[in-house]
Structure 1
Amino acid sequence: MERDCVVIGIHGLANKPPADEKTRWWKAAIDEGLVRNEGIADPHFAFDFVYWADLRYDAPLSGDGNREPYRPYEGTGPLPRGETAPTLTTNAMLAPVYAGIDAVEEATGVTLVDDVILEHRFDDLWHYHAEQDFARRVRTRLIERLKAFSAHRILLVAHSMGSVIAYDVLRMLERDEPSLRIDHLVTAASPLGLAKVKLKFEAEHDTLRVPNNVAAWTNLADGEDVVAIMGDLATDYSPNETGIRIDDRRVMNAYRRPGGEPNHHKSYGYLRTPEFSAIVSNFVSREQRPVRSAESV
C-alpha cells in the first residue's frame, strides 16, 4: 500500500518573517511552480516547515522590515529553465579561483578565507559551527519533524544553511534511527561546497558521502548565487552504500525584490523553478490517498 507523502522544508540564513507567514509563502511558491511549469493546479501533498530563525533573532521580520516577500512571478506560462541561463556567470568566473583556495584549505585545515566569509557574510552558519547548544537546538527541530513523519514518504527541501543542518541531521539519523528514510533530498543554494563546511562534516561524520538513509539527492544551484559558488557537489560527496549519487542541476532563480532587484539566492525563486517543480510533480504523482497533517501523526 502506498504511503502518504509530505514535503518538508527548512529555511536558510538570516532572520525571517513569522513562522506561519514563511510557511505559507514557501507553499505558495511551490504551488506556483507546479501550476506554471507542470500544469498541476491542485497538488495533492502535505507540507510542513522547519522554522529556526527564532533561535537566533529576538523578533521576526514584519511589514517594511521584510525587503524580500513572496510575490508571484510576472506573466504567465513556465518559468525559465537552467539551460537557458547565460554561460558566463558570477560563479563561472569566481569558482575556479575559489576551487584553488578550497583545495589549499582542505589540505592544510587552515580556513582563513572561509572564516572571513562565514563570520561576516554568513553569520548564522558561523554561530552554528561555533555554538554547540545552538546547533543542537536547530538540529532537534528537524529531527523531531522527520520522526513525526517517519511513516510517510518524505521529500526534504533544504535551502542555503538549511542544507548544512539537513546533512548533519541525516548523517546522525542514519546511525541513531536507521529505519527512518528520506525518499528525496533537495538542496538549493547550498554552501556544502565550502572548505570550512566540508572539514566540519569530516570531523563529525568522517567521510563526505551521500547519507545512507537517502534514496535520491538533487542539488539545485543558480550560476549567479554566490552562496552556491562551487555549484556541483557530486565531485566532493561520494555515493552512499547503495550507490546513490548527487544529481547536480543548474537552475535559473528568477526572484526579484518588490523594487525589481534580482536575488539569485532567494528560496522562493528556487522553489518555483521548472527543475524543482518536476521533482515535486514526480514525487506527488505516486500519491493516491488523502494525506494527514502533522497533528494526526
Structure 2
Amino acid sequence: MSAEGILVGIHGLENKPPLDEKRRWWRAAIVEGLQRNCGHDGGAFPFEFVYWADLRYDKPLLGDANDEPYQSVGGSGPFPRHRPDADATLNDGVVSKVYRGLAALQTATGATPVDDAILEHRFDDLWHYHSETPFARQVRRRLIDVLEQLAGRRVLLAAHSMGSIIAYDALRMLEREAPSVQVEHLVTLGSPLGLAEVRAKIAEENGAARVPNNVNRWTNMADNRDLAAVAGELVEVFAPNDRGVGVDDIAVVNAYLRPDGSANRHKSYGYLRTPEFSEVALGFTACSNARLERQA
C-alpha cells in the first residue's frame, strides 16, 4: 500500500450547497480544527469529497436558502472536548437509554414502528435510500468509484450521518466485489447505524452486523445530544471483523452554532472541528508524511 494518504469525506442527510462549496466548507472546518486544537496550520493534505445530494434534489441550496453555512468561529484555543468526569457517555443520556430499550423490543419482535417513524419523519433521505433500490445503488456507486480509484493508497474515510450508512454498505459490497480495496481508518460522525431498522436492513443484505473486513480501524464519534446517534455506542451492536478489528466509540462535543446562535449537535462542521477528530486527522496525515520522507 502506498504511504501517501488521503482523507475522503462523504456528507449526510438533506439537501446541500453545490459540490464545490460543500467540499470547500468541509475542508475549511477540518483545517480550522487542526489550527485551533493542534496548533497545526492545516497544510495541503490530499482531500476528496463524495457528493450525492444531486441524486435526490433537483437544485442545491443557494444563498439564503442555506441557513446552516460553514462559518469560522474565530478566536483561539481548542474547541471543547468531552469530559468523561462531567459529561454523559454515549449510552448515559435519557433518550439513549429509552431508545435502546425500545430497540431491544423491536429487534425481538421484528417490528420497527419506532424506527419507521424516526426514519420517515426525521430522516426522509434515509427512508428513500432503504425503499428505492436504484437510488441506493447510485449513491453507493459514487463512493465505490472513488475508493476503487484510490486503491493502493492509505485512506481515512470520514462519513457523516447518513453518509456513514452509505459508507458501511459500500464497504460490505467491496468486501465481495473488490477485496483488495482497503480503508485504513473509517471515522463515523453522528451516525444512525445503531438504529434497529438500519441494522435490520444490514442483516437482510449482508448478514450479521460487524466491522467490514476491508477496514483496519473504525472510530465512531458522537455527541450524546445528537438525536441521529440516539442508539448510543456501536460497539454493542457491531461485532469485530475477521481480523479482530472492533468499533472504538468516542463521545465528543459538537459545538456548531447556526448564524442565529442556536445549537445543532448533528452538524458536520461541528464534528470536523472537534479535538478528537483533529487528532485523528493530524495523526493520519503526519504518519503519511513521515512514511513519504523515509521513502524519499
Say yes or no: TM over 0.5: yes
TM-score by length of 2: 0.94
Q: 1:147: which partner in 2?
A: 148
Counterpart secondary structure, 1:147: helix
Q: 1:12: which partner in 2?
A: 12
Pairwise CA distance, 1:34? 0.6
Pairwise CA distance, 1:142? 0.3
Pairwise CA distance, 1:113? 1.0
Structure 1 unpaired stretches of 5+: 292-297
Distance in 2 (CA, whole Å) between partners of 1:152 and 1:88 is 34
Question: Relative to 1, partners in 2 of residues 1:270 and 1:88: Cα closer, same or farther, differing over 3 Å?
Answer: closer
Distance in 2 (CA, whole Å) between partners of 1:91 and 1:72 is 31
Cα contact 2:188–2:219 (8 A) shared by 1:
yes
Pairwise CA distance, 1:90? 11
Counterpart secondary structure, 2:251: strand
Cα contact 2:33–2:275 (8 A) shared by 1:
yes
Q: 1:59: which partner in 2?
A: 59
Q: 1:242: which partner in 2?
A: 243
Pairwise CA distance, 1:96? 1.3
Q: What are the residue-to-residue correspondences of 1:176-191 with 2, within 5 Å?
A: 176-191=177-192
Distance in 2 (CA, whole Å) between partners of 1:103 and 1:131 is 27
Cα contact 1:239–1:246 (8 A) shared by 2:
yes
Q: 2:22: which partner in 1?
A: 22
Q: 1:69: which partner in 2?
A: 69
Pairwise CA distance, 1:289? 8.3
Cα contact 1:91–1:230 (8 A) shared by 2:
no
Aligned length: 291
Counterpart secondary structure, 2:235: coil
Q: Which sits farther off after the overlay, 108-117 or 271-280? A: 108-117
Counterpart secondary structure, 2:49: strand
Question: What do residues 70-104 of structure 1 show as CA deviations (whole Å, max 9, x unaligned)?
Answer: 01124211111012764399970111111111011
Pairwise CA distance, 1:157? 0.4
Question: Relative to 1, partners in 2 of residues 1:102 and 1:9: Cα closer, same or farther, differing over 3 Å?
Answer: same
Q: What are the residue-to-residue correspondences of 1:250-265 with 2, within 5 Å?
A: 250-265=251-266
Question: Relative to 1, partners in 2 of residues 1:90 and 1:175: Cα closer, same or farther, differing over 3 Å?
Answer: closer
Structure 1 runs, 4 residues or longer, greater than 4 Å off: 88-91
Q: Which sits farther off after the overlay, 86-95 or 104-113? A: 86-95
Pairwise CA distance, 1:124? 0.1
Q: 2:279: which partner in 1?
A: 278
Counterpart secondary structure, 2:288: coil
Q: 1:110: which partner in 2?
A: 111
Counterpart secondary structure, 1:3: strand
Question: What do residues 188-242 of structure 1 show as CA deviations (whole Å, max 9, x unaligned)?
Answer: 0000110000000001000110000000000001011000012210010010011
Q: 1:137: which partner in 2?
A: 138
RMSD: 1.8
Structure 2 unpaired stretches of 5+: none
Counterpart secondary structure, 2:208: coil
Q: What are the residue-to-residue correspondences of 1:164-183 with 2, within 5 Å?
A: 164-183=165-184
Distance in 2 (CA, whole Å) between partners of 1:181 and 1:88 is 30
Distance in 2 (CA, whole Å) between partners of 1:4 and 1:125 is 34
Cα contact 1:82–1:252 (8 A) shared by 2:
yes
Q: 2:123: which partner in 1?
A: 122
Cα contact 2:190–2:228 (8 A) shared by 1:
yes
Cα contact 1:181–1:214 (8 A) shared by 2:
yes
Counterpart secondary structure, 1:141: helix
The residue identity in structure 2 corresponding to 1:14 is E
Pairwise CA distance, 1:286? 1.5
TM-score by length of 1: 0.94
